[in-house]
Amino acid sequence: MVTFTGTAFFPSRGVEPLLTFGPQATGMAAIPLNLPDAKVEEYAMTDMTGAWIQAGVRSFGAGRVAVLGEAAMCSAQWAGQQRVTMGMNAPFASQNARFCLNVVGWLSGLFD
């Protein structure tokens, strides 16, 4: 499973993690969105190991909820002027389509 950018979050009680971070994962606050002149060394960095996740599911009442903190992994795109493949059509993301199909299958009740 490959993600490209996105958001990490702390899951609430009852959330089953689907995508967790490896032991060397690091996150960066999106400071350039608010401070375009900020230097990379001024960005707030966070160790992403432990409780942070990028995707999770849970039952909610009679329904089901999936939270994916990254949209590109379940899409097929070309990025930039070079039209670099990303999402499900990226050659190194061969498991993404199956992951997304499994999430939809779980949401529909096909899988328990």
> What's the confidence (pLDDT) of residue 97?
93
User: Which whole number is the average pLDDT over 66-86?
Assistant: 90
The half-sphere exposure of 20 on its side-chain side, counting CA atoms within 13 A, is 9
Ranges of each domain in the chain: 53-108
- The answer to whether residues 7 and 70 touch, using CB atoms and an 8 Å cutoff, is yes
Strands 16-20 and 53-60: antiparallel
> What's the confidence (pLDDT) of residue 106?
96
**pLDDT at 99 exceeding the cut of 70:** yes
User: In this predicted model, what pLDDT tens digit does every residue of 9-27 receive, in sequence order?
Assistant: 989 989 999 999 888 888 8
User: In this predicted model, what pLDDT tens digit does every residue of 45-66 receive, in sequence order?
Assistant: 788 887 889 999 999 999 999 9
- The pTM score is 0.79
